[in-house]
Structure formats: C-alpha cells, structure tokens
C-alpha cells in the first residue's frame, strides 16, 4: 500500500484458476477492522480470473513501526453441487485446502517522487513565437525626420539671408530718406521737390518686412526644435 494514508488506499489482488475445475476461494486478514475486502469469497471458473479489491482504511502512519498485517488466500476445489458456501469450508478436509499467505507493506513516496510528480503536473512553457530573431529594423520615420531636418536647416539659412538682405535694403532706404529730408528742409517750402515729398508722403521702407521675416524664422526654428 502506497501512502499517504490520510484517505482510503486500494490495492487489487488478482486470483487466477489454472485448473480445469471450479475453485472456491476465501480471503482472510489478521486485521479485519483495518481492511475492507470485496469480494472476500467466491468461485472461480476454470481458466478464469477474479479481481479482489483490498481497501486500507485511513490511519496515522508511523515509518518506524513495522507492519505485522497479513493476508491469507485459501482455496479448494468446488463440489459438483454448491448450495451453501459456508458448508463447503466446514466440510473441507485439511489436505484439500491450499493456502497462500501475503504480508502487507506500507510505503510513503519519497521527496524525489513528489518533485517528479509536481514537475510532470506543470504545463510546458509556451514559447513566444511572435519575437523575431536578430536586430529589429529601424523605422522609416528616422530617415524621414533626418530629411525634414536638413530641409528645415536649409530653409532657415535661406530666410536668414533674406532677412539680412531686407535689413540692408531698409537701412539703405532709411539713409536715403534722411538725405532727402535734409534736402527738403534746405529748399524753400514752395519748391517742387518739397511739395512732391509732402504730397507723396515718402517714408523709408517700414520695419514690418523685418517683423514678418522674423515670424517666419521663428516658425521654422520652432518646427525644427520640436
């Protein structure tokens, strides 16, 4: 019997009749309160077999205690007409009986067996087949960002050059306006030059162009940084 013995442990006993006559059998034990035997007696036909279930009741197992429980299988040839099984055993002569004795052995599974059972019960690990071998390819967005960056840098350089050009033109026009104003003040107020300047409302190029250019540069620089 293999433990643990906290619950009923069953062991099967196979009885086979190799003769050409019917055989009566009976199963006896030295500890009838500890075992339940089904069937504990019966008849086996010639060449047939019978399975006897021996059920050990739960108990507190002590590995240091040696088992003294024994079983005995007693058999005899069945008479031609069987009406009372108990009468067969009472009337049987000692030389007509055959006894087979068995000794009970209690075993507890060792720690290695427990570990093997636990490992066998564990499911096999599932491999993640979604992962690809080798380095991951770089996304296309990286190369696109590099291209956009180069374009933005070139655009910023171009705008800076235009701003410098507009600033230079604005300075030149401002100087030209100052010079014309001096000429206008030096002339008479009724002179054609002064009248033409007042009527046309001539002024140097406003700084609005510089502001617009600065806005464009700020927009592109902000896009480049982000």
Q: What is the pLDDT of residues 204-218, one digit of tens each?
A: 455 566 667 667 676
Q: What pLDDT score was predicted for residue 156? A: 73
Residue by residue, DSSP assigns 53-104 as EEEEPP----TTSPP--EEEEEEEEPPSS-S-HHHHHHH--GGG-EEEEEE-
Same-domain status, 14 and 90: yes
121 occurs within a structural domain: no
13 contact partners, CB below 8 Å, separation of at least 6: 27, 51, 52, 53, 54, 71, 73, 102
Q: What is the mean pLDDT of the chain?
A: 76
216 occurs within a structural domain: no
For residue 29, the cross-strand partners are: 71
59 occurs within a structural domain: yes
Is pLDDT above 70 for 34?
yes
Q: What pLDDT score was predicted for residue 158? A: 78
Q: What pLDDT score was predicted for residue 208? A: 63
What is the C-alpha separation between 168 and 172, in angstroms, rounded? Answer: 6
112 occurs within a structural domain: no
- What are the strands of the beta sheet with 9-16, ordered from one edge? 9-16, 49-56, 35-38
2 occurs within a structural domain: no
Range of the structural domain that residue 24 is part of: 9-103
211 occurs within a structural domain: no
Give which of 91, 98, 102 is closest to 19, Cα–Cα. 98
Cis, peptide link before residue 4, omega less than 30° from 0: yes
Q: What is the pLDDT of residues 42-98, one digit of tens each?
A: 999 999 999 999 999 998 888 887 888 999 999 999 988 887 888 888 888 889 899
65 occurs within a structural domain: yes
Cβ contact 35:57 at 8 Å: yes
Domain count, the chain: 2
Strands 23-29 and 70-77: antiparallel
88 occurs within a structural domain: yes
Cβ contact 31:54 at 8 Å: no
68 contact partners, CB below 8 Å, separation of at least 6: 30
């Amino acid at each position: 019997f293999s433990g643990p013995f906290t619950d009923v442990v069953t062991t099967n006993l196979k009885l086979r009749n190799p003769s050409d006559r019917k055989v009566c059998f009976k199963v006896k034990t030295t500890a009838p309160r500890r075992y339940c035997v089904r069937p504990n007696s019966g008849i086996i036909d010639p060449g047939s077999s019978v399975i006897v279930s021996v059920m050990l009741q739960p108990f507190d197992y002590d590995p240091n205690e040696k088992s003294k429980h024994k079983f005995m299988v007693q058999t005899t040839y069945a008479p031609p007409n069987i009406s009372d099984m108990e009468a067969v055993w009472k009337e049987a002569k000692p030389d007509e009986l055959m006894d087979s004795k068995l000794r009970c052995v209690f075993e507890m599974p060792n720690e290695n067996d427990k570990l093997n059972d636990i490992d066998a019960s564990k499911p096999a690990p599932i491999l993640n087949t979604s992962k690809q071998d080798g380095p991951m390819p770089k996304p296309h967005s990286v190369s696109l960002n590099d291209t956009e960056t180069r374009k933005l840098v070139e655009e910023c350089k171009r705008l800076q050059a235009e701003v410098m050009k507009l600033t230079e033109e604005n300075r030149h026009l401002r100087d030209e306006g100052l010079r014309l104003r001096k000429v206008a003040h030096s002339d008479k107020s009724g002179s054609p030059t002064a009248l033409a300047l007042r009527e046309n409302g001539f002024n140097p190029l406003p700084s609005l162009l510089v502001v617009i250019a600065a806005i464009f540069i700020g927009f592109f620089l902000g896009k480049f940084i982000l």
